[in-house]
Amino acid sequence: DIQMTQSPSTLSASVGDRVTITCRASQSINNWLAWYQQKPGKAPTLLIYKASNLQSGVPSRFSGSGSGTEFALTISSLQPDDFATYYCQQYSNYPYTFGQGTKLEIK
């Protein structure tokens, strides 16, 4: 299985901050990576697909980058609605695997 490692596990930030979450794959996954946002008690929602493509309806303050084994999700200016847990997921090889999650907290 491909291991996905996110960092940090927890991130404390303020409204208006620019934040970056990284995701590393244990082997190359080209650009077959998605980012999801999950709020407590809710299903995840798709933010970014194929590493850098913004899903329809997602605010442009979210962006994704990377290829191969190193990826990043950046939020350019944090809004109150962005405090949530974020997961990366590879869909290069079966079984599809997720990172352990990054909880974005209000500082």
Partner 1 sequence: QVQLQRWGAGLLKPSETLSLTCAVYGGTFSGYYWTWIRQPRGKGLEWIGEINHSGSTNYNPSLKSRVTISVDTSKNQFSLKLRSVTAADTAVYYCARFVVRGVIGMDVWGQGTTVTVSS
Q: Which residues bind partner 1 (CB under 8 A)?
A: 1, 32, 34, 36, 42-46, 49-50, 53, 55, 87, 89, 91, 94-101
**Nearest-angstrom CA–CA distance, 75 and 96:** 25
**Nearest-angstrom CA–CA distance, 7 and 20:** 9
Tokens of 32: 């077959």
Q: Could you check whether the bond before residue 40 is cis, i.e. omega within 30 degrees of 0?
A: no
Choose between 19 and 35: whose C-beta lies nearer to partner 1. 35
Provide, rounded to whole angstroms, the least separation between the CB of residue 46 and partner 1. 5
Provide, rounded to whole angstroms, the least separation between the CB of residue 78 and partner 1. 23
Choose between 44 and 66: whose C-beta lies nearer to partner 1. 44
